[in-house]
Chain A
Amino acid sequence: MKKGLNTGLTAFAVLTYLILIGLPTRLEGAAQPVLALLLALFFFAVLRSQGKEMGRGELLQSGLVAGLVAGLLVVAEIGFFVGLLADGVKIQPVFDKVVPLNMAALLNVRAGAIINGETSLLAYAILTAYLTGAGLLGGLLVLFTRSGTASTVRSTRIPGGRWLVILLPFLLFAFIYYLGLDGVKTFGNDKNIVRLLLVLVATGAGLFALAAAKEGVEKLAIGGLLAGVLLFLPFVLNQFQNSVMSIVFIFVMMGLGLNIVVGYAGLLDLGYVAFFAIGAYVYAFVAAPFSSPYISSLLTGMGISPDSPLLGYWSAIPLAMITAAIGGVLLGIPVLRLRGDYLAIVTLGFGEIIRLFMLNLGDLTNGPRGLLQIAQPTLFGVAPSALTSHLDAQGWIFLLAIFGSAVVAFVAIRLNDSRLGRAWVAMREDEDVAQATGIHLVQTKLLAFAIGATFAGLAGQLYAARQINIFPENFSLFVSIDALALIIVGGMGSIPGVVLGALALKGLPEVLRGVDEYRIVAFATLLIVMMIVRPEGILPSARRRRELHSAEAPPPDESDVSDKPTDGQLEGGRA
């Protein structure tokens, strides 16, 4: 009873927050069911964690009480707001999103009814019923999912379940292909989005299939098939879908690079955007020299016309990578002696410094006006869209991003299994011990920074080509945060995890365009919740999962140190 009351109060706080940020306004007619569903999930999570000892009746009662408390409080709050609005009190100067439309969506009435004060009690009762129902549904869900305890569920798998997981992505892709047969490029806007969502889900399912496959031939076969399907995608998707998928895979490249720095070597780098920016700007300098006042005057002085690109996309790759790597080493040298949190703040500062330079060095970078008309990558001097009508410009970038990700993933896998990879892990675990076992810390750290930066440079170059025009605001702190969030959500140190994170965090917001303004808040909540509930990520590497959960279930041979195993596993202990 008391627990139910507490849960209800918490749910009321959450609902109030959602009302204040104006989510109901965006949901319009669907506000009541969607909020009820969200609330049911919330109750499910809370009741499952606190209701382990509860009996069936107690659990349902708890859910019912929580739902009723939340419902009554929210209704009272809405009634208060509606009363104010009907009296013509302006709430907006304080709470920007508390407007008649918001209240109307919550009560499922017309906005006019709110302004004229014509709301019926029935509307309030229906909302209360929805929220109480959500509490009950949460309790029922808990009952339903725990009918067998967690361990028995795992051991008694559905026969053939593994094959279902493995086949699912291919079935989904087949379905998408079937949908796409009647005129790929003529879909309306909504179908456009639905197909993009399907592509994202199918690709994500592919990662789970890969994780479910047995090591060896099976894994290779499935990986090969998935790669084949993926390479086919740019030819069948339309311009919009390709542009979303290309940014997803550019962030896969970024994430894989950052994964080396953070996931493998345990160096928390919040200024990763700096190398991304270096790659993009270096390519822009050589591919659009006329945009930069300094470079174009320099070239004119040397008797070269600045109107044409100095280097093509392919020949600029080594330049972008090497410049970014030099940036990585330059950042690495001063921060060699720093650990953990200090490193995070210094790298954050470095990222800001690079952005401020781009903004203020007007002669070189053209300041906030940006570098424009960056030359597009070609295939042996020919634009691919001229070769086949099935591949548009964005599809070509998507294809390049897939290739880039594959190369980066291959290098990352090989590095992880190499001597250097083991040195990184050892350094992450304990620097002093690593040094005592003969690991050259300076060299190992600098290599991590340099290799991570190289990949970011590669991604940045492709990003510049994708954007055609780049501006300093493309390279804000949020690029670093996005990249960090995607490796954390996906699973630190795990390559399928990075791809999954990019699909979820860069792809899904494009699908949910209508609620785009809530993207950052949702990310931030996700970061906190992931840290509390599942710090190893959704698709973690086996090693990381064992590390972060060793406290809960210490393996027998490590039980003698189990009183403090969670301390300082990411970068050395603390005092």
Chain B
Amino acid sequence: MPMQKQSLSKSLTLLFGIVVGLLVIWRVVTVGMAEGYPASFWISQGINGLVLGGVYALVALGYTLVYGILFMINFAHGEVMMLGGITGFFALQFAAAQGWMEGSTAVVVAALLFILVAGMLGSVVTGVALERLAYRPLRRAPRLVPLISAIGASLFLQYSVLLIFGVSPHSYRKPDLISGGIRTGDVFIPYTGLIIFVASILLMLGLYLIVQRTKLGRAMRAVAEDKDTASLMGVNVDAVIVATFVLGSALAGAAGVMLGFHNTVVKFNSGFIPGLKAFTAAVLGGIGNIPGAMFGALILGMIEALGPSALGIPTEYKDIIAFSVLVLILIFRPSGIFGEILSEKKA
């Protein structure tokens, strides 16, 4: 009997999936025939999608790293990113006050690196404090307990920033060096977009090398596999968990600074929606899987950039598209596109 019921639920989901798939295809085809955007439009949108995807990827990696090791969703990770953006903003103010932003190319590049590192540091401090205060005491608690604590931490960080730094949004002023862009025909690529994409690829490569080639990476993989056995093998589990938060937060901090330059503004809640999107990306690629998070993020960025025009709906609905992708992925392939087939318990 239970077998039959299980299959009823499965066939219901399958039916639902087919209906949704057909509806989306029908919509895309009819809109595509009616609207007829030029190719350059799609290329520009695709480039936007890649840039967005690069930022999501950096944040998504933080979710994936922490999930891989602790099996918990670090709900406050978006806020860790936002704090990187805020710290970066103050570093930018400082650099501008020293006159570094009007100097020679080398000085401006050095100043930009300084801002990036400051943002990463800000995020690392936040991430480590978060782990120490809100998550470590709950490591042995039932699964729902750290999640609720994480929701609390997310709200706490958002509204503390609002109270401490005030309501007015913090605007990033781009130096002249990176405020232009490349124009080929009808396609325009802003320098910030280019920098974000290249920098995120480099950072991801660095992370991949750390996880695969170093002793710390091996310890992280061991802890992800089995905490107790790893500690028997002489791995300091607490230290590895902290290192994981450091790596994830540093990437999020870089994302926060780059998003600050790209959107030109950072606010107390500007980490929340990107955080959710990055989580979606991590799930899309298979949570716990590092390359999966990168590709998932790039795919999500593209879907978000192209989706509204392809479906012929206003761009205000782009968040709805991202959430719908999350729901659909979780229903039909909870292990993600590249994910290993997780055991029922992990999913």
Instruction: Identify the A interface with B (CB < 8 A).
Output: 17, 20-22, 92-97, 266, 268, 270, 333-342, 344-346, 348-350, 352-353, 356-357, 359-360, 432, 435-436, 438, 440-442, 481, 484, 488, 517-518, 520-521, 523-528, 531-532, 535, 548, 551, 566-575
- Residues on A with C-beta less than 8 A from B147 are 268, 340-341, 344
- Nearest-neighbour CB distance to chain B for A121, whole angstroms, equals 29
B residues less than 8 Å from A348 (CB atoms)? 276
**Segment at the interface with A among B30-38, B190-198, B244-252, B319-327:** B319-327
**B152 partner residues in chain A, CB cutoff 8 A:** 523-528, 531
Q: Which A residues lie within 8 Å of B343 (CB)?
A: 575
- The reply to whether A551 and B140 form a contact with Cβ atoms under 8 Å apart is yes
Distance to closest chain B CB from A505 (angstroms)? 13
Residues of A within 8 A of B159 (CB): 520-521, 524
**In the complex, chain A residues whose CB is within 8 Å of the CB of B151:** 270, 481, 484, 527
Interface: B13 (CB within 8 A): yes
Q: Are B90 and A94 in contact (CB under 8 A)?
A: yes
Q: Within the complex, what minimum Cβ distance (angstroms) separates B290 from chain A? A: 18
Among B2-10, B100-108, B173-181, B257-265, the stretch that binds chain A is: B2-10
Interface residues of B: mostly helix, strand, loop or mixed? helix
**Given A337-B13, A339-B347, A528-B149, A568 contacting B143 (CB threshold 8 A):** yes
Query: Knowing that A21-B160, A566-B142 are A-B contacts, what are 10 other residue pairs whose CB atoms are under 8 Å apart, sorted by A's residue number?
Result: A22-B163, A92-B166, A334-B331, A342-B347, A518-B163, A521-B160, A528-B156, A570-B142, A570-B145, A573-B345
Given the known inter-chain contacts A356-B319, A528-B134, please indicate yes or no for A548 contacting B142, CB distance below 8 A.
Answer: yes
The chain A residue sitting closest to B170, CB to CB, is: A93
Please report the C-alpha to C-alpha distance between residue A20 and residue B2 in the assembled complex, in whole angstroms.
58
User: How many angstroms from the CA of A22 to the CA of B165 in the assembled complex?
Assistant: 11
B319 CB contacts on chain A under 8 angstroms? 352, 356
Given the complex of chains A and B, what is the CA–CA distance between A188 and B16 in angstroms?
60
Contact A574-B316, Cβ < 8 Å, known A338-B334, A346-B326, A346-B330? no
Is A360 within 8 A of B331, CB to CB? no
Which 10 A/B pairs are nearest by Cβ-Cβ distance? Answer: A527-B152, A96-B166, A349-B323, A524-B156, A524-B155, A21-B163, A570-B144, A531-B149, A528-B152, A570-B142
Asked whether B137 is an interface residue with its Cβ less than 8 Å from the other chain, the reply is yes
In the complex the two chains form, what is the Cα distance from A376 to B146 in whole Å?
43
Please measure, in the bound complex, the distance between the C-alpha atom of A340 and the C-alpha atom of B344, giving whole angstroms.
12
B323 and A353 contact, CB distance less than 8 A = yes
Complexed CA–CA distance, A435 and B1 (Å): 10
**Contact: A442 with B8, CB < 8 Å?**
yes
Residues in A whose Cβ lies below 8 Å from that of B90 = 94
B145–A535 CB distance below 8 A: yes
The CA of A343 and the CA of B101, in the complex, are separated in Å by 46
Q: Is B234 an interface residue (CB 8 A)?
A: no
A535 shortest CB reach to chain B, Å: 5
With A and B bound together, what is the CA distance between A568 and B166 in angstroms? 40
**Complex interface: chain B residues within 8 A of A337 (CB):** 9, 13, 331, 334
Measured between beta carbons, the chain B residues less than 8 angstroms from A438 are 1-2
Query: What are 15 sample pairs from A and B whose C-beta atoms fall under 8 A apart?
Result: A17-B160, A21-B164, A337-B334, A338-B330, A338-B331, A339-B347, A342-B347, A345-B279, A353-B323, A356-B319, A359-B316, A360-B317, A532-B138, A567-B142, A575-B343
Q: Are B72 and A341 in contact (CB under 8 A)?
A: yes
Cβ contact of B140, chosen from A334, A345, A566, A572, cutoff 8 A? A566
Cα A548 to Cα B334 with chains together (Å) = 29
A17–B157 Cα gap in the complex (Å)?
Answer: 12
Beta-carbon contact of A356 and B320 below 8 Å: yes
A574 and B2 form a contact (CB under 8 A): no
Report yes or no: A349 in contact with B326, Cβ–Cβ below 8 A.
yes
B residues sitting closer than 8 Å to A (CB atoms) are: 1-2, 5, 8-9, 12-13, 16, 71-73, 90, 93, 133-134, 137-138, 140-149, 151-156, 159-160, 163-167, 276, 279, 283, 314, 316-317, 319-320, 323-324, 326-327, 330-331, 334, 343-347
Query: Quick one: closest B residue to A437, CB to CB?
Result: B2
- For the complex formed, measure the closest distance between the CB of B5 and the CB atoms of chain A, giving whole angstroms: 6
B132 → chain A closest CB, angstroms: 11
Residues of A within 8 A of B153 (CB): 524, 528
Given contacts A345-B326, A575-B345, contact A525 B156 (CB under 8 A): yes
Question: Are B345 and A96 closer than 8 Å at their CB atoms?
Answer: no
Chain B residue, CB-CB nearest to A96? B166
Are A333 and B16 also in contact (CB < 8 A) when A442-B9, A520-B155, A525-B156 are? yes
Residues of B contacting A357 in the complex (Cβ-Cβ under 8 angstroms) = 320
A572, B320: Cα distance in complex, Å = 30
Q: Which residues of A contact B331 (CB under 8 A)?
A: 334-335, 337-338
Question: A345 and B73: CB pair below 8 A?
Answer: yes
Instruction: List the A side residues contacting B160 at CB < 8 Å.
Output: 17, 21, 521
A contact residues around B326 at 8 Å (CB): 345-346, 349
Residues of A within 8 A of B330 (CB): 335, 338, 342, 346
B residues in contact with A442, CB < 8 Å: 5, 8-9
Contacts of B167 in A (CB 8 A): 96
Are the C-beta atoms of B13 and A531 separated by less than 8 Å?
Answer: no
Assess whether A360 is in contact with B8, with CB atoms less than 8 Å apart: no
| Chain B residue with Cβ nearest A20 | B164
Check A571 against B143 for contact (C-beta < 8 Å).
yes
**Residues on A with beta carbons closer than 8 Å to the beta carbon of B73:** 341, 344-345
Chain B residues, Cβ within 8 Å of A338: 330-331, 334, 347
Cβ contacts under 8 Å, B1 to chain A: 438
Among B140, B148, B149, B164, which residue has its beta carbon within 8 angstroms of that of A97? B164
Cβ-defined contact, B163 with A360, below 8 A: no
> Chain A residue with minimal CB distance to B129?
A13
- Residues of A within 8 Å of B133, CB to CB, are 528
| Interchain CB contact under 8 A, A435 and B148 | no
- A535's nearest neighbour on chain B, judged by CB, is B145
Bound-complex Cα distance A195 to B344 (A): 53
Knowing A353-B320, A566-B142 are in contact, say whether A531-B9 is a contact too (CB < 8 A): no
In chain B, what residue has the closest Cβ to A331? B327
Q: Are A488 and B148 in contact (CB under 8 A)?
A: yes
Residues of B within 8 A of A531 (CB): 138, 141, 145-146, 148-149, 152
CA gap between A517 and B90 in the complex, in Å: 24
Contact B16 A334 (CB under 8 A): yes
Contact A334 B2 (CB under 8 A): no
Check B140–A532 contact: CB distance below 8 A. Answer: no
In Å, the complex CA distance between A333 and B71 comes to 25
Q: Taking CB as reference atom, which chain B residue is nearest A340?
A: B143
Q: Which residues from B are CB-within-8-Å of A270?
A: 151
A561 to B290, alpha carbons, bound, how many Å? 35
Q: Of the candidates B137, B165, B346, which one forms a contact with A574 in the assembled complex, judged by CB atoms under 8 Å apart?
A: B346
Q: Could you tell me if A360 and B145 are in contact, using CB atoms closer than 8 angstroms?
A: no
Residues of A within 8 Å of B143, CB to CB, are 340-341, 568, 570-571, 574
Residues of the B chain whose Cβ atoms lie less than 8 Å from the Cβ of A548:
142
Complex Cα gap A493–B148 (Å): 16
Q: Is the CB of A435 within 8 A of B155?
A: no
